[in-house]
Amino acid sequence: MMLEAQRKKVIEIALKVQSEKLVPLTFGNFSVRDKETGYICITPSGMEYPSLMSEDVTVVDVNATIIDGKRKPSIETPMHCAVYRKRPDVNGIVHTHSVFATAWASCDEAIPVLTEELAALVGGSVECAPYKPMGSIELAETASEWLKDKYVVLLANHGVLAVGPDIDIAYANAVIVEEGARVAFYSKQIGVMKFIPDEECKRLRKWTIERYGQK
């Protein structure tokens, strides 16, 4: 089977995302780009994640042409492909509908940086791209444009698009953004939010890249 390991990885992340309650039912979509071939392994449209087998994950090229697989790929395949075309540094994408982050997106508001974790992993506030219909080319182009060189962007009235040099980092970014959105929501109820300044966000991001984890 073509890219079997990458297809299995996509399913592994889909199940982790669902266990973290970052998506309900069959919503959300996840992909991995194979560094050698450039092909993209992406979840199928409308299938329950616990039922997925490797062959259910579709392989497409960067223009969304199906290369291998019997299933219809996610309706957000154009969005994944648009990001991969613009961002050679990205090899994993996680799109969630997590509750708190989506609430901020539904108010068309950026998530402010209140936690060091969000500053360290994302490097600044999480901006919100304008509303475009799900599955549309307009959404694909708008999301990839607003993502710029960052790792996360909100999609108005829709959810979160998180990316990374691999899908594990994209998943971690999605988790941390949801946690940051939850903290910001509760902080706003308690009192005046105290933001981490931009310069400190940049310093924490740089420190994390250079020193955090096992090198």
Strands 152-155 and 128-129: parallel
Beta strands in 72-202 (DSSP E): 92-96, 128-129, 152-155, 159-164
Is residue 213's pLDDT more than 70? no
Q: Which among 127, 183, 190 has a CA at the least distance from the CA of 153?
A: 127
The correct answer on CATH 3.30.300.180 for the domain covering 4-211 is no
Pairing of strands 29-33, 40-42: antiparallel
Query: Any alpha helices (H) in 87-130, and if so which ranges?
Result: 99-106, 116-122
Residue whose structure tokens are 């497409």? 60
Give the model's pLDDT for residue 205: 81
The pLDDT of residue 208 is: 78
pLDDT at 214 over 90: no
How many other β-carbons are positioned within 10 Å of the β-carbon of residue 191?
7
DSSP letter assigned to residue 60: E
pLDDT per residue as tens digits for the range 27-69 = 999 999 999 999 999 999 999 999 999 999 999 999 999 999 9
Q: Pick the catalytic residue from 4, 48, 55, 76.
A: 76
What pLDDT, on a 0 to 100 scale, did the predictor assign at position 56?
A: 97
Rounded Cα gap, residues 151 and 87, in angstroms = 10
pLDDT at 206: 82
Tell me the C-alpha distance between 19 and 22, whole Å: 8
- Rg (alpha carbons) of the chain, rounded to whole number: 17
Q: Tell me: the pLDDT tens digits for 118-149?
A: 998 888 889 999 999 999 999 999 999 999 98
Structure confidence at residue 94 (pLDDT): 98
In degrees and rounded to multiples of 5, residue 141 shows phi and psi of: -70, -40
Q: Is residue 76 annotated as part of the catalytic site, yes or no? A: yes
How would you classify residue 46: left for phi > 0, otherwise alpha for psi between -120 and 50, otherwise beta?
A: left
If you search the block for the tokens 């973290």, which residue do you land on? 20
- Tens digit of each residue's pLDDT (9 = 90 or more) over 68-101: 999 999 999 999 999 999 999 999 999 999 999 9
Report yes or no on whether pTM surpasses 0.85.
Answer: yes
